[in-house]
Every structure is written in C-alpha cells, then in structure tokens.
Structure 1
Amino acid sequence: MAISHDIGLFFPFKLNRPLTKEEKQSRFVQGKRRKVFGEAAVLDLDTVIRMNSSYLEVVDKFYPTKGYVASFMMAFCLLFTVFILAIAKVAIFNNGNVPAFLFILLICSAGICFFLRFLLKDWFRKTHYPVRFNRKKKLVHIYQVSGGVITVPWGDVFFTTSKQRISYCIVGHLLSDDKETVLNTFSFGYVGQREELSLYWEFIRCYMEEDCLEELAETVLFCPPVEKQKEGYIAGLQRLMQIDSRGDWLLLVLNLPFALVESLARYIAMQTSKIPQWPQDVLDACAVEPNDSINIGAENNPVHRWRTVLANETREAYDTKNQRLKLANQEIKAKLDAKYKTVPELE
C-alpha cells in the first residue's frame, strides 16, 4: 500500500506566504555538492520517464500513489449506494414510507457528492504531471496540476523538503522578487523517507550541473511506462506490489487484497485520464541530438519485471545489477571528489 502525499492535488499548496524556517533549513542548493552517506552517490528511485543529453523527465510525486485515495472514495461510494438500495427496499417496498426514503436519499447523496469530489481529483485528469529538467538550457519545465505548463530558470527555483505525516518529498518554490514570498509550488519524483531525499536531489543536481551523464544513466534501472502511453493494469499492480526483500513476502500476502482493490482504482484512474502533452515551445527547447549516446526510457526496462517486483531475482542477475550500480556510483563520487576539493555540504 503506497504512502499518500496529497498536498498539491487533493488540497492546494499554500501560496502567497513567506518561506518557513524549516523550508530555509532544509533547502537543496543548486551549484553545491550535498553530503550523502554510504556507498551510493545518487538514487533515481524509479522516477525517470526519459533521460538523454538534452533533458531529464521525471514523474510527479502523485504518480506512485495514483488510485490510492480513489480506492477509498470508490469503496465509500459503493457502500453508500448499497445502503440507499437497502433503505429503498425497506422504506418503499415494505413500509411504503416514501418521505423517509427521500430524506435518507438526500443525506446519502450529499455524502456521495463529497466523496466524488475527491475521487474526481484522481480520475478524469492527467495520467501524471511530469517535470522536465532541461540540461542544455538550464531550464525547468513544469506540467502543473491545473493543466498549464510553466518554464523557469533552473537557478531561480527554491528547492526544499516538504513533509506530510510520515513521508517527505522535494518541492520547488517559485519566489517573488523579495526572495521570501512563495508564489507557486510544484513537486516531483520521490515520496518516502527523508534519508533518501539527498541522494535523489544529487541525482537531479548532477544531471543538471555535472559531467557524469553516462554514469548517471547506468544507475537508472527502471522507467515508469507512461511516456506517450497510459500505464497498463499489470504495470500498476507491479508498482503496488513491489517489495525490497524476500523477508517482505508475508507482508505482501497480507496486503494483497488491498493492493488488488487499489490496482483497480489505479487502472480506472489511468484509463479515464489523458496523457499530458508538452507544448511545442517546450519540445523545441528540449530538442535531442540525432546521435545522442544517452537515451534511457521504458523500452530499456528489464524483461523479467516480476522477479524484481517480488524480490526473486536470480543470484547472477542480482549480483550483476548491484555491481553495475556500485561501479557507476564509485565513478560519480570520484568525479565529484576531483571537482569539489572542499568538504561537501552537510545534510
């Protein structure tokens, strides 16, 4: 079951307000290497839709949990409908009490409308709201939840941490001239534990600023299959069922009924939503060289996806994957160490 991070979709971001102390303290600064711990230098966290030498396109933070809230809203609407039908049988057919039935119908209809309001925030919208990081022109192209597209200079965005309940993500604030007032906010990519945000930020920052594209490409193992297409049912189910180790198999079995319900709501959400289309000016700004040696997308995804989802890869495949990641991260760290002679910024 995914962690929902619904601020920005079901509830709007707070705008026209000053930056908070926490946001200033948790800022991710462009142009500065960030201190990370462990062997990994970067993490893409399965958010990359397309990566080449011109741009990096990632999913929004709502994509991993699409269908999560809708599954509850769908269940509540069905329960209310069943309740209304049961009351109709008793009130009309058994007792002939039409006024009482109409009164209860009015109350239940209000409840259904309330739940439908949230459900339609997820259904009949966009399959996802991508963000493109334009490396060549140092721009960020943002597909907003409202449907509009805005483009801003990479250096003008105030990136920081956003917390909701137990999960965290990175958001970008667009500030007024006073550099204090938040005029607009967008989110992207990963939602989860705070410890991984620095690694994810370094992946984005290194793509935009460092000379290590080939090494970064080696760290991307899976791309969500949403570029110019709608996610299929199996792909959605795999995302909901993915576990980290075989020790989670029991938990997976226990959560399977919930995952199946959520997968249905997710599939409906995907099929009723439209694929986002970038305007021509963004496509022109992100033009890709014909012979670009870096071109990573869903077509490069591993064939045996279910083995990865269920943490059941063969030992050979598992070791090969980890060796690939280890070498790529070592090379990235070596390049960053050579460039930044000073101590990296602490988390």
Structure 2
Amino acid sequence: MYITISKQHQGENFKGSVRDFVNYLEKENETVHPDLQEHFFDQYNDQIGAEEVISQIDQNTTKLNKKEPRFYSMVVSPSQSELKAISNDPEKLRQYVRELMKDYAASFHRNNQVTVDDIKYYARIEKQRTYKGTDKEIRENQPYATKILQLQKEVRRIERGEVIGNAKSIRKEIDRLERDAPHKINGKRIVRGMKKEGMQNHVHIIVSHKDATNSFKLSPLSQHKAAETTLNGKTIKQGFDRDKFYQAAEKTFDQTFKYNRNFVESYRARNALDKDPKRFLAILSGLPITEKQAAFKMLFKAGVNVPTIPTNKVQVAYKALMKLKRGVEVAINSGSIGI
C-alpha cells in the first residue's frame, strides 16, 4: 500500500480554491457514460457532487492565513496484488478508505481524542494510471526513445533541405527501434503518459485543514509526532504520527480483507530500507524459504537486482546496499511494489 500526503500549493501562498483540483479529479468522468461515472464520497455518503465538495472545503477555512494550506491531498495506491485481493472492487475500496480515515483521525495527538467525525474529507476513486519516468518500462525503453528522437530530428532536417541524407533508410531504422523496444502495449512502445493495463484503481482524498466544525486545525504534515506545550498553565497536545498512520493503514487492509502481506510489501521494510539498508537485507535473508522466494520474485518483477546476501551481514558491500536501496525506492515510487 503506497500512501502519500501533500499540501495544497497555489504559487507562493495557499489562498486558492479547491476548484482546480476537483476539476482535475473529474477528468475521467468526461469520457464515461453518466451511469458509470465515479462520484465523491465521505464517511457516510456515496454520491457527493463536485460543487458540494468545492463549497464545503472552501468554506471550512476560518482563521487560516495565506501561508497555511486550506486542504491536504492524500493518494491511496494499492498494489496489483492488493487490488487482486479485493477483486479490484470499488465498493471494497470505499470500505477500506472509510476504515483508513478512522486510522487517520486516531493518529492525531490532541487533548481530546480525534475521531473520524472530526475529519472533513471527500474521496474519489480513479480507475486509470499512466506511466511515469520512474516506471521500469519507461526506464528500459528510454535508450530506444532517445535514439528514435534523434533520428526523427535528422529526418526533419533532411526534409527541410538542411542536410543531405537518406530519409527512407532512417525511417526503417526508426521502425526497427520501435520493434526492438522491450516494453509495448498492443504493439506500441510504452511512453510517458500512456495508460497502464490491468487493475489500476486508486483513491484521491481531499482533507480539510480544519476540523468538521471549522474550529481547530488538523495537519497531517505537522513536524511533531506527539509534542506537548504549556499555555497559561494548561498542557496542550499537538502533532500527527505518520509512522503510526502508515502502519495502521496497512494493518487495517490486511485484517479487513485477510491479506497475507510479504515483507517487501510492508511499511516495516520501507522503514528499514530508509534507516538501515543492512538491516533490510538481514531481515530479507532471514525470512522463511517460501516467503523469501516470494519476496525475491516481487523484487525481480519490479526490476530490482538483489545482491547476494552473505551469512555475515557485516560483509555486505556498502555500494551494493546503496544500489539495492535506490532500486527498491524507484520500484516503490513507481508503484511496482506495494509498500
């Protein structure tokens, strides 16, 4: 499960409306029959219109200054194996999001317990994803793409009479490169922006910076996990524990849908990789045989070459560790591994 949280940006300040973002999320509906369109939903309602989302978020901003976000964007991206576990069912994805937002609320450190009813949010399922530069397919196709672009420029120069050459011969070379590119969909070389095949359901969530009563701020990007300050003799709790949230989000999915998560899919693995790559490899090497085989298969499928793991982890070369770390991070960011 790959979850990202980001704050609203409108140039140098945060005064802008949520309208542009809502319109962006509505783009898939433009080419879909009305009966098949996805609607925004919250904790209790399945069909919320775009204008209501805009109105509710834009009006829930009392006492926020121009340097503070009006809302946060959360993207919940299940891996292919997680989507398979729920049969790519949008209804189950909505069910998961509603449980996830309970975990989100519980991760705030406040004097009074924050519950999901304190959170003003609107979520929307998207069914398509496009290839990015970090994807394995794009990276491995890039040498072919670069050469094709160079040859296409050469053909144009010949056609404009700027240089002398055989445009027909160059076009044949371009065709050959297109055929030899390792990754294609329906015979066409995969390029950035092309729609991905398979199950691609994921969720965009718009979360108001203010609580549902427009009374107090709830920032998931707080610098503190659990800070306490004293004001007029009263202890004030503040902060948001992102580690707690990510772990809870994973646990909620696994328990709700009886999902058997492999180590390399886990938040634990990502945390170990970030903080101590040697520990990541040590845990990987110590997994039961069947789980280890599954882990290596996932890594290989994601384009990650795992170095040989010696018995004594001290012997692991730093350079090999860093190469593995970069490879896994790229796979995570591209969605190849559902960490």
What's the TM-score, normalizing by structure 1?
0.26
Between Structure 1 and Structure 2, the one with more strand by share is: 1
Flag the structure with more relative contact order, 1 or 2, with Cα contacts below 8 A and sequence separation at least 6: 1
What's the TM-score, normalizing by structure 2?
0.26
Structure of higher CA gyration radius: 2
